[in-house]
C-alpha cells in the first residue's frame, strides 16, 4: 500500500497535493488492488474516494474487472433452487436461482465447473456462470469420493471415483473419459494392508490418482494405464519443515557433530588405555560373568520391551488428532491441509514422494488456498492482504473466515474476529469453492 501512496504523491505538484484531487482512473486502479478491510478504510479517506466505491456490486462481477476471478463459495439451500453465494473479495452474500440444480448434490468442483449428481447415479457437469450443462452416462454405483482431471470441455477430461462398495482391504473405482458411452470399473485388493477410507477427493498428478487415508496420512497412487497401484506409507514422525534459516541450522548441526566426534575420539583413546590395564582382572572374572550372562540378556530384553512400549505411549500422546483433511495439487506438487486437535489448528504440508514423508510448509509462497470437502484449489494472489491465507467454508456471523499461516490464527474477512482456535465459528454444510470461468 505504501508504494501506491508514493506513486499518488508523485502525480501532484508539491504544495498542491490534495487526496480529493487524485484522478478517478488512478483511484479505481488502487481500489482493485485492495482487500475487504482496506476497501472500507479507502471509503473513509474523503467523499470523492467514497464515491468511487460502487454502492451495490453486481454478481458475477464484470468479466473485465479484477474481481471477476475471485472465488465464490456456493452453498446449496437444499429445499429450493436458490443458492447462497459468498464472494470472497467482497465479503458479501448473494442469492442466485439455479433451476437446473434442483434436487442435486455437489460431488466435486474444479476448473470453474461443478460435477453434480441427481438421484445418485445420474451425473453431469455444470458451469454456474454460463449455465452450460454436460451430461454423463449413468454410473452403476454411488461414489464415496470423486474427481475429474481437466476442464470438462476438454476431450481428455477423465472422471475418476472411489466407489462406496470399497472397504479397508480393497478399493473399487470407476472412471470414464469424456465422449465414452460407458463407465469402466476396476478393483485392487490390498491383501493384509488396511486403508482408512476418507472423503477427501483424489488428486490427479502426472498420470496417477493420489488418494489419502483419513488416519495415518498414507496414500494409494492409482495408475490406470499400467493397471497397478503403489502404496505410499508416509512416516509422519520424520516430517521436516521448510524454513528460511534451515540451511544455517544444518551447518550449525554439522559443526556440532564434528566437535562431538573429536571429543568422542579423545574419550575412546583414554578408555583403551584403561582397558589394557584392566584386561588381566577381566580374564579372572570371565567365568563368573558367563554364569549370569543368560539372566542379564533376559532382563535387557524385558527392559527394551518396556522402553518400546513407553515410546509408543509417548508418541500416541503427542500424535495429532486429525479432524479434517484436504489435498490440492499446486504447480506439480501435492499439498495436504490438516486440521488437527480440538482447537482445529491448521498445518499445510507438501508430499515428498522420493522420501515418502510430509514436509511442513511455513509459507504458501504468495498463494492462497480455497478449501472445501468437495474440491480445493490454490490461487496466486493479485490483491494485497490475501497471500498466505486459507479460506475455509467457515463464518463468524455474516463474515467469512480465513486462516493465516503467518500467525496461526483465524480471522474474519470483515469485522475484528481473531483467534487461534475455531470455537464459535460456523461450518457451512453443502458448500464448495469455485473459481468462475467462461469456458464453454
Domain boundary among 214, 236, 258: 236
Domain boundary among 183, 210, 236: 236
- pLDDT, residue 295, reads 45
Report yes or no on whether pTM surpasses 0.85. Answer: no
Q: Which three cell numbers stand for residue 278?
A: 584392566
Quick one: 165 and 48 in the same domain? no
- pLDDT, residue 136, reads 97
- pLDDT, residue 392, reads 93
Chunked mean pLDDT (size 10), the chain, 440 residues? 48 59 69 59 65 60 71 85 87 88 93 93 94 95 95 96 90 95 93 86 96 86 93 66 42 48 51 54 52 51 53 49 88 92 83 90 92 93 80 91 93 87 86 86
Quick one: 108 and 198 in the same domain? yes
- pLDDT, residue 280, reads 54
Residue 113 lies in a domain: yes
- pLDDT, residue 186, reads 93
CA-to-CA distance for 369 and 348, rounded, in angstroms?
A: 10
- pLDDT, residue 247, reads 36
CB 334 within 8 A of CB 203: yes
Residue 192 lies in a domain: yes
Quick one: 47 and 119 in the same domain? no
- pLDDT, residue 23, reads 75
Quick one: 125 and 44 in the same domain? no
Quick one: 110 and 228 in the same domain? yes
Write out the residue range of the structural domain in which residue 46 sits: 19-52
The CATH number assigned to the domain holding 211 equals 2.40.128.630
Domain boundary among 236, 259, 279: 236
CA-to-CA distance for 243 and 31, rounded, in angstroms?
A: 33
Quick one: 117 and 224 in the same domain? yes
Residue 297 lies in a domain: no
Quick one: 137 and 203 in the same domain? yes
Contacts of 371 (CB under 8 A, 6+ apart): 326, 328, 337, 390, 391, 392, 393, 433
Residue 90 lies in a domain: no
Residue 181 lies in a domain: yes
- pLDDT, residue 326, reads 94
Q: Please give the tally of structural domains in the chain.
A: 2
Quick one: 110 and 178 in the same domain? yes
- pLDDT, residue 244, reads 29
Amino acid at each position: 500500500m505504501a508504494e501506491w501512496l508514493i506513486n499518488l504523491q508523485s502525480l501532484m505538484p508539491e504544495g498542491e497535493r490534495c487526496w480529493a484531487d487524485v484522478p478517478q482512473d488512478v483511484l479505481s486502479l488502487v481500489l482493485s488492488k485492495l482487500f475487504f478491510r482496506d476497501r472500507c478504510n479507502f471509503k473513509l479517506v474523503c467523499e470523492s474516494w467514497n464515491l468511487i466505491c460502487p454502492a451495490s456490486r453486481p454478481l458475477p462481477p464484470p468479466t473485465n474487472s479484477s474481481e471477476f476471478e475471485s472465488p465464490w463459495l456456493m452453498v446449496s439451500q437444499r429445499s429450493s433452487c436458490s443458492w447462497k453465494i459468498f464472494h470472497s473479495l467482497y465479503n458479501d452474500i448473494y442469492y442466485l436461482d439455479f433451476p437446473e440444480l434442483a434436487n442435486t448434490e455437489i460431488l466435486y468442483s474444479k476448473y470453474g465447473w461443478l460435477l453434480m449428481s441427481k438421484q445418485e447415479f445420474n451425473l453431469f457437469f455444470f458451469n454456474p456462470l454460463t449455465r452450460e450443462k454436460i451430461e454423463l452416462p449413468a454410473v452403476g454405483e454411488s461414489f464415496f469420493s470423486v474427481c475429474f482431471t481437466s476442464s470438462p470441455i476438454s476431450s481428455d477430461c477423465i472422471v475418476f471415483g472411489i466407489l462406496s462398495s470399497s472397504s479397508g482391504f480393497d478399493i473399487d473405482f470407476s472412471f470414464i473419459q469424456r465422449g465414452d458411452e460407458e463407465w469402466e470399473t476396476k478393483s485392487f485388493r490390498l491383501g493384509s494392508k488396511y486403508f482408512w477410507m476418507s472423503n477427501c477427493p483424489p488428486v490427479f498428478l502426472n498420470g496417477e490418482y493420489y488418494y489419502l487415508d483419513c488416519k495415518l496420512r498414507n496414500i494409494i497412487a492409482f495408475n490406470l494405464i499400467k493397471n497397478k497401484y503403489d502404496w505410499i506409507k508416509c512416516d509422519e514422525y520424520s516430517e521436516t519443515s521448510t524454513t528460511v534459516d534451515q540451511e544455517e541450522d544444518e551447518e550449525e548441526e554439522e559443526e556440532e557433530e564434528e566437535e562431538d566426534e573429536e571429543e568422542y575420539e579423545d574419550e575412546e583413546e583414554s578408555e583403551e588405555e584403561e582397558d589394557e590395564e584392566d584386561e588381566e582382572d577381566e580374564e579372572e572374572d570371565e567365568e563368573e560373568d558367563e554364569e549370569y550372562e543368560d539372566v542379564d540378556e533376559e532382563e535387557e530384553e524385558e527392559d527394551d520391551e518396556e522402553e518400546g512400549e513407553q515410546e509408543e505411549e509417548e508418541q500416541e500422546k503427542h500424535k495429532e488428532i486429525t479432524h479434517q483433511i484436504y489435498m490440492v495439487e499446486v504447480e506439480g506438487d501435492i499439498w495436504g491441509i490438516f486440521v488437527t486437535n480440538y482447537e482445529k489448528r491448521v498445518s499445510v504440508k507438501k508430499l515428498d514422494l522420493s522420501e515418502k514423508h510430509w514436509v511442513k510448509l511455513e509459507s504458501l509462497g504468495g498463494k492462497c488456498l480455497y478449501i472445501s470437502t468437495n474440491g480445493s484449489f490454490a490461487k496466486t494472489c493479485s490483491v494485497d492482504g490475501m497471500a498466505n491465507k486459507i479460506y475455509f467454508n467457515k463464518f463468524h456471523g455474516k463474515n467469512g473466515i480465513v486462516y493465516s499461516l503467518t500467525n496461526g490464527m483465524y480471522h474474519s474477512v470483515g469485522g475484528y474476529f481473531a483467534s487461534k482456535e475455531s470455537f464459535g465459528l460456523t461450518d457451512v454444510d453443502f458448500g464448495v469453492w469455485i473459481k468462475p470461468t467462461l469456458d464453454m
